[in-house]
Homo-oligomer: A and B are copies of this chain.
Amino acid sequence: MALNEEALQALKTELLDELVKEDPSKSQLAERLAEIRSADIGEVLEELIEEDEELSAALTVLDILSTERAANVLGYLPKESQLEVVGELSDSQVLKLLEEMGSDERADLFNRLGEDRREALLRRMAHQEREDLKRLASYEEGTAGAIMTSDYVAIASGMTVSQAMMRVRQTAPDAETVYQLYVLDSDGHLIGTMSLRQLMVARPGALVDDIMIKDVIKIPVDKAQEEVARIVARYDLLALPVVDADGRMVGIVTHDDAMDVAESEATEDIHKGMSIGQLEDGVSRVPLWSLYRKRVFWLVLLVFANLFSGAGIAYFEETIAAQVALVFFLPLLIGSGGNAGAQAATLMVRGMATGDVGVKDWSKMLGRELLVAGSLGLTMAIAVAPIGIFRGGEAVAIIVALSMVTIVLFGSLIGMCLPFVLERFKVDPATASAPLVTTLIDATGVLIYFSIATAILAGV
């Protein structure tokens, strides 16, 4: 059974109680830890490490575990915590841990170490290992190369089924997955793939070249990681092979890593939708200075954008002076337009991210939004009209109701179209965030409201 929040807290207390004893019984602790999953130990250690004084407790736990298990647990820690742990260990301890980590996690951790530490570690590695690590560590963050592992099962073209099966058994302990196999020619080009399931039901003497699927779904090493997640999800893959520019196989991304990417991409999109830049860690751990920087940019920019709304109000000062009751409805009208517009923008941005909406759907979406936003505007106008009569009489009611329909309709169309426009100019459509859309609509709303008011009041 997976551990829940309370069980994790109890485990943490239990570990701490044992560890603060004068002479903690390591064998007893080891026995207890053996029953607990690496992901759960990782969670407890993460909390211990965050509370600075308990870092040594976390180190003791890692020390008690076998190197393989410790490497596994380390892989579940957030990157900041990994660095804190590694900072307390000797080079030879770190080397042992690195050796046991998956090649993708190894390269990831290695990349975050200081220059000196990296040099010291590289000097002590075997040639092959060093080259492998350097290669994996060289891919740019956010690309397929940066999240792939080189621990996959490669089958040489020309092998028989039983030879391939032998190879699977030999590689089983090290490979990230043995359930999807890749056939390479003598130059390392990826020429086919097969599942272990296919291999198991094939005739032992058959050639892998005859049973493999030749049309392999693969991805170039420099493609964006969200593309990896999209392809894995779309074709329900266990693993996606990664190839270099010449079609040579360089690694795989497994389904669990693709799922992690999809989650962090969703988080990034959600944050972007509120004009927050990409955080390098969870919100509870990211340094405050970084959190400030990722939030301040658009906030300050939008302060200036909001000046247009103010200028709009100043321009209509006479109209306002003639009917002060109008100001009462200002927040309501521009707020409503902003909300409807932010909804429309969000629907499009997410639709584009999931592949549900494409650029070619623009006109269809425009037609749909016209109908929906028109109905929304009418409903809201009907809701607000009685208050208009109550506060300022019939003329104000008509002004407010008319403005509501127009502002909601305009706001929704601005919100809907902006992501398409951005995409057209190769800007991430997610830049059409709620704050940006709301600010644009605020300014438009002020103009619409007071123009309608001026016209109607002049007519009265």
Contact = CB atoms under 8 A, between A and B. Distances in A.
Interface in A210-265: 215-219, 231-238, 255-256, 258-260, 262-263
Contacts of A365: 284
Given A309-B332, A354-B263, A379 B324 contact: no
A313 B339 contact: no
A46 to B, nearest CB: 10
A235 B39 contact: yes
A368 B435 CA distance: 22
B274 A346 contact: yes
Task: Give the oligomeric copy count.
Answer: 2
Interface residues of A, number: 114
B255 A256 contact: yes
Given A259-B259, A346-B271, A380-B303, A235 B2 contact: yes
A309 B347 CA distance: 28
Contact of A340 (B232, B299, B348, B361): B299
A291 to B, nearest CB: 5
A16 to B, nearest CB: 16
Contact of A375 (B292, B339, B376): B292
Nearest to A408: B299
A334 B168 CA distance: 63
A310 B330 contact: yes
Quick one: which of A234, A303, A351 has the most chain B CB within 10 A?
A303
Contacts of A235: 2, 37, 39
* A234, A292, A339, A435 pick with most chain B CB within 10 angstroms: A339
Nearest to A254: B236
Interface in A251-297: 255-256, 258-260, 262-263, 266-267, 269-271, 273-276, 282-285, 288, 291-292, 295-296
A259 B260 contact: no
A196 interface: yes
Interface of A: 1-2, 5, 35, 37, 39, 168-169, 172-173, 178-179, 196-197, 200-201, 215-219, 231-238, 255-256, 258-260, 262-263, 266-267, 269-271, 273-276, 282-285, 288, 291-292, 295-296, 298-300, 302-304, 306-307, 309-311, 313-314, 317, 320-321, 324, 327-332, 334-336, 338-340, 342-343, 346-348, 350-351, 354, 356-358, 361, 364-365, 368, 371-372, 375-376, 379-380, 383-384, 387, 434-435, 438-439, 442-443, 446
8 nearest A-B pairs in the assembled complex, by CB-CB distance:
A309-B331, A282-B356, A266-B266, A236-B256, A306-B332, A310-B328, A339-B435, A274-B346
21 contacts: A2-B217, A39-B234, A173-B201, A233-B263, A255-B259, A270-B346, A271-B346, A271-B347, A273-B346, A274-B434, A282-B356, A283-B348, A299-B340, A300-B380, A302-B339, A309-B331, A310-B327, A311-B328, A314-B327, A321-B324, A327-B327
